[in-house]
A and B are shown apart, each in its own frame.
Chain A
Amino acid sequence: AQKVTQAQTEISVVEKEDVTLDCVYETRDTTYYLFWYKQPPSGELVFLIRRNSFDEQNEISGRYSWNFQKSTSSFNFTITASQVVDSAVYFCALSGVQTGANNLFFGTGTRLTVIP
């Protein structure tokens, strides 16, 4: 079965602080993809990153960085020098190649509030 756990329901930080959003996943597939999406108040889920299970290199995109560790089944997301515009709900998602290939399995999301 596929499962994604985002244990942090809500996080508040003061602007310019760094914040890490945790994501732990479960899958029996040997090939799978992990995603992060951002959901601002407007409602649409905005794609942030896609990572396949064979690529454990960390990735940095501006103030965003992702740490993928297969050994701990985690795919954590760090925002450096947070800004008010980062306030949103962030979802981690998983898609397995062998099973559940028609579906993205989402976590329950982490609501991030950046206080000016």
Chain B
Amino acid sequence: ETGVTQTPRHLVMGMTNKKSLKCEQHLGHNAMYWYKQSAKKPLELMFVYNFKEQTENNSVPSRFSPECPNSSHLFLHLHTLQPEDSALYLCASSRWTGGNYGYTFGSGTRLTVV
């Protein structure tokens, strides 16, 4: 069982579609994160969940809607996206919230908005 699993690996969606990204970890971690990785830009933290509760939203547009039903699963619901939202979306987890412990990352979902 690998650490953090993300599905799908690749996603192409139209601007009017609704889709969801899924992240799953069975490491016993209590914190989960969504990051956006765009070309030539630093990874951008989007959302932080700690024990299923959202603790941080980095001014992310409402067309991105996270959901964390339990400490092992994290979703990112997408609707009416823009072409500039095309990026690699990475999920990560850590035992406790806080970057001090370092994160375990998934392989990401490569999203293309057409």
Could you list which residues of chain A lie within 8 angstroms of chain B, going by C-beta atoms?
4, 9, 33, 35, 37, 42-47, 50, 91, 93-95, 97, 100-109
Establish whether residues A104 and B48, one from each chain, have CB atoms under 8 Å apart when the complex forms: no
A37 to B56, CA, bound (A): 23
* Interface residue from B4, B9, B56, B100 paired with A97 (Cβ < 8 Å): B100
Asked if B108 is at the interface (CB within 8 A of a chain A CB), the reply is: yes
User: What's the interface size class on B, roughly?
Assistant: 20 to 34
Establish whether residues B56 and A102, one from each chain, have CB atoms under 8 Å apart when the complex forms: yes
Establish whether residues A50 and B43, one from each chain, have CB atoms under 8 Å apart when the complex forms: no
Establish whether residues B42 and A102, one from each chain, have CB atoms under 8 Å apart when the complex forms: no
Smallest CB separation, B3 vs chain A (Å): 8
Smallest CB separation, B53 vs chain A (Å): 12
* Interface residue from A35, A44, A108 paired with B106 (Cβ < 8 Å): A44
